[in-house]
Amino acid sequence: MLYTNLKHIESGAEQAQIINENEQVVIICGRMGSMCIPVYRIVEELEGEYKHVKFYDMEFDNPESQVIHTLPEVLGFIGIPFTIYYKNGEVVKATSGIQSKAQITAILNNEFAATINV
């Protein structure tokens, strides 16, 4: 279980439904570790500023998270969390490891710029 204030994804089927039903989605796939917690906290903070984006977490060690682990965009990633940015059901950006607020905000502004409500 991830102890974040984000909505949790428990299964691959749920993940598929979320990205198919929402135009802009960010999923952070990680653990409760030193590289992941800062990313969760930043995204929890940004969630209120980017109301048009749906933010979720998914437990890295859950067998269902294979839907994230096997994405072509993450092949070769070493560090966690994997942060996946989806637009209209497609991956538009993927990062791994710790990210700063400025890095995450830059990606959100670049990939989801058309409808920002800041």
Tokens standing for residue 114:
């058309």
Q: Which domains does the chain carry?
A: 7-113 (3.40.30.10)
pLDDT tens digits for 42-97? Answer: 999 999 999 999 999 999 999 999 999 999 999 999 999 999 999 999 999 999 99
Any residues with CB less than 8 A from the CB of 7 and at least 6 apart, and which?
54, 55, 56, 57
pLDDT bracket for residue 114 (50, 70, 90): low
